[in-house]
Structure 1
Amino acid sequence: MVFLGAILRRLGWIDQQFVNTASSLVFKATMPTLLFLSIAATDTGALLSLGLTAWYLTISAAIFCLIWLWALWRCPHDERGVFVQGAFRGNCGIVGLALSASMYGDTGLSLGSIMAGGIIIVNLVLSAIVLSVYSSTASSRPRDIVRDIATNPLIIGIVAALPLAWLDIQLPGWLLTSGNYFASLSLPLALICIGGSLSLASARESSTLALSASIWKVIIMPVIGVGAAICMGYRGAELGIMMLFFGSPTAAVAYVMARGAGGNERLAASIIMLSTLMSLFTISAGLLVLKSVGLIQGSSG
C-alpha cells in the first residue's frame, strides 16, 4: 500500500491536497473508530494478564525515556519529536496482536488484546507529549499538553470504549457492520498517504535519522525489553508475545500524529517504511534465537 501510494502520486492520480484531506480523515475519524471497536470487543476475562501488561507498559515507558535521552544527544532539535515517536511506537495493535494470535492461538489473542489495549493508550499519551514539546504549531506548556491529550481523537476513541468493554455491552449488529466498514479505511488510507508523501530527495535527507530510529525500534528495543523479561523470569508464550510486541515496526498512526503536530511527516514515513522492512528479518531472528535456547516453544496456531 505504501508503494501504491507512491505510484499514484507519481501518476498524478493523488496530490498533496488528497494526502492532507485523507490524513485528517484518518486521524479524526477512521482511526478513532478502529480503536473504539477494537477496545470495545476486548475480552476482559483475561485479567490474569494484567500483571504482565503492567510490567510491559513500565518497560516500554522506560525505553521511551532512554530514546528521548539519546535524541537529546544525537538528534537535531526540530526532528526529536518525530524521531522519538518513530523509535518507540510499535504497531502492536495490528502487527503484534496478529502475530501473537497466529503463533499462540487463543492464548496469544487474549494476552495480546490486553497488552495491545494498554500500550495503545501509553503510546498515544507519550507521543502526544514528545510531539507537543518539539512542535512548531502546538504549545509545550503542561496545561496545553494535557489539553491536547484529552482532546486527541484517538484517545477519545479508546476512553469511550472502556465502559463498553468492562460492562460487556454489545453494540447493535448494524452499528458494528457500519463501524467496521468505516474503520477498515484506516490502514490503507494511512499507508497510501505515507507513500504519497515519500520522495527520494527527502528519503536521502532523512536516511540517517530514519535508519537510526528503525534500529532503535526493531533491534535495540526488543533486545532491552526481552532481555529484561528474561531476567524477570518470563518464559514460553508470555516471553514470545513480548518479543512480537517489542519487535513490531513503527505504527502507521505515527505518521498521522506527526503530521497533525506539524512535525516532519516525511521523516515519519521513512521510519515506518524502513522499520517495517527490517522487522521482517529481526522478528524472525529474535524468535529463532529464543526457540533455539529453549526460552519459548513453537507455535500453536
Structure 2
Amino acid sequence: MQTIFNVIVPIFSLIVIGFVFAKARLLSEATGEALARFVFVVAVPVLLFRTLATAQFGDVNPLALWAAYFGAVAIVWTAGTLLVRALSDADRRTGAIAGIAASFANTIFIAIPTLQRAYGDAGLEPLLVIVSIHLPVMMIVSTLVIERAAMLDARETDGAPPVAVSLAATMRRVLRNLATNAIVIGILAGLAWRGTGLQLEAHIDEVTGLLGSTAGPLALFSLGMSLTRYGLRGELVSSFVVATLSLLVMPAIVYALASQFGLPPLWLKGAVLTAAAPAGVNAYLFAVHFRSGEKLASSTIFVSTVLSAVSLSVWLTILG
C-alpha cells in the first residue's frame, strides 16, 4: 500500500498543483498551452526516441499485446456508443464521441508518468509497443466513424441523400497530420536508430535523458492547468458511464485477454495501466471539430481524470 501511495500521490499532487495555479491565475492559460505543447513536441518524443533506441524487448510477440489492447478498445468503444445513445437519445455523432472518450486513453499525460513511477523505464516498453500504432489506428478509425455518423445524422435531419465519405481523402488528410506529428516522428526516429544497432553516445544519452525526464512532471502539471478549461458541462450521467467504461471495464478486458494470451507479467501490467488511464483530450478535439458532444467529452475528461486517482490505485493493488 505504501508503494501505491508513493506512486499515486505525487502524480495527482502535480495535477492538483497545476489546477490551483491556473484557477488562481498565477499562470495564464497560454502558459499551460505552451507547457502542453512542449510535452507533445519535445519531451515525450525525446523520451520515446531514447527508450525505443535502448530498450530490450526480448522475444515477446507484439501481436498478442496489440490483440489484447485493441480488442478491448473495440468492445468498450461499441459499449460506450450504444449506452450513451440509449441513455440520452443522443445522435450518432455524440455516440461516436462517447465511444472515443471511453476507449482513447490518455497515454501521454497519465500512462507514461504512472508506468515510469511504478515500474521504472522498463515499464514503458509495453506502452511503447502500444503507442507505436495507437495514434495512427485511433485517429484513422475515429475520423472515419464520426464522418460516417455525421453523414447519417444529416440524412435523418433534412432527408437529403447521404454524401459518401471518401476513404481515400480521409486517409490522406489523417496521414498528412500524422506525418507532422512529433510523437510519431519520435517513434520512427527511435526505431530507425535501433535499426542501426548503434549505442547512444554518452552526451546524446545524457541530453535525451534530461529532456525525457521532464515529460512526466510537465505533462501532469499542464494537465492540471487544462482541467480548468474542461470542468463539468452537463451530460453527467453519460459522463460517469463513459468514465466507468474507461477506468474499469476497458482495463479489466485487457487484463483478461492479456492473461489468456500469456503476456509476460510486466507487459500485462503495462497494458492494463495504459488502458486504465482516463479519457484523453482527443475526444474533446473531435467533438469540437465535428460540433457534437462537446459537453459530454469535456465532462468525461474531467470526471475520469479525477476518479482515476482511485481507480489507478485499485489497479496497482491488483497488479502488484
Shorter chain as denominator, the TM-score bin is 0.7 to 0.9
Whole-Å separation in 1 of the counterparts to 2:194 and 2:75:
33
**Aligned counterparts of 2:266 and 2:45: Cα–Cα separation in 1:** 29
Shift of 1:259: 6.8
Where do 1:1-301 residues align within 5 Å? Answer: 1-44=14-57, 46=58, 48-49=59-60, 51=61, 53-75=62-84, 77-78=93-94, 80-81=96-97, 84-85=100-101, 87-89=103-105, 90=107, 93-96=112-115, 99-100=118-119, 109=122, 112=123, 114-130=125-141, 132-133=143-144, 134=146, 141-199=170-228, 202-203=231-232, 205=234, 207-232=236-261, 234=262, 238-239=264-265, 241-248=267-274, 249-250=276-277, 254-255=280-281, 257=282, 266=298, 267-284=300-317, 286-287=318-319
Q: 1:94 to 1:180 in 2, by over 3 A?
A: same
Task: Please give the alpha-carbon distance, in whole angstroms, between the structure 1 residues aligned to 2:112 and 2:102.
Answer: 15
State the shift of 1:162 in Å.
Answer: 0.4
Give a deviation string over 1:206-232, Cα, whole Å, max 9, x none: 654543343223322232223234444
Contact 2:273-2:315 at 8 Å conserved across structures: yes
| CA shift for structure 1 position 84 | 2.2
Deviations 1:110-167 (A, max 9, x none): xx5542321111222233235545599xx98122122222322111110111022233
Structure 2 segments unaligned to the other structure (5+ residues):
1-13, 85-89, 151-165
- Which amino acid is 1:70 matched to? A
- The separation in 2 between residues aligned to 1:65 and 1:37, in whole angstroms, is 31
Query: d(CA) in 1 for partners of 2:141 and 2:20?
Result: 32
Displacement of 1:280 in angstroms is 0.3
Q: Distance in 1 between matches of 2:178 and 2:55?
A: 23
- Over 3 Å counting, the alpha-carbon distance change for 1:231 and 1:129 in structure 2 is same
Residues 5 and 193 of structure 1 are in contact (CA less than 8 Å); yes or no, is this contact kept in structure 2? yes
User: What amino acid is the match of 1:250?
Assistant: A
Structure-2 change in CA distance of 1:117 and 1:213 (3 Å): same
Would the aligned equivalents of 1:43 and 1:165 in 2 still touch at CA under 8 Å?
A: no
> What residue number does 1:290 align with?
none
What CA RMSD, in Å, does the superposition of the two structures yield over aligned residues? 3.5
Hey, what's the Cα distance between the residues in 2 that align with 1:42 and 1:240? 14
Contact 2:278 2:301 in 1 (8 A): no
- 1:274/1:130 Cα in 2 relative to 1: closer, same or farther (>3 Å)? farther
TM-score by length of 2: 0.69
Q: Structure 2: which amino acid aligns with 1:146?
A: L
Distance 1:276 1:125, change over 3 A: farther
CA distance in 1, matches of 2:56, 2:270: 20
What's the TM-score once normalised by structure 1's chain length? 0.73
Measured after TM superposition, the shift of residue 8 of structure 1 is: 0.5
Change in CA separation of 1:175 and 1:259 when aligned onto 2, cut-off 3 Å: farther
Q: In structure 1, what residue type is equivalent to 2:82?
A: W
Q: Offset at 1:281? A: 1.6
Question: What residue identity is the alignment partner of 1:122?
Answer: I
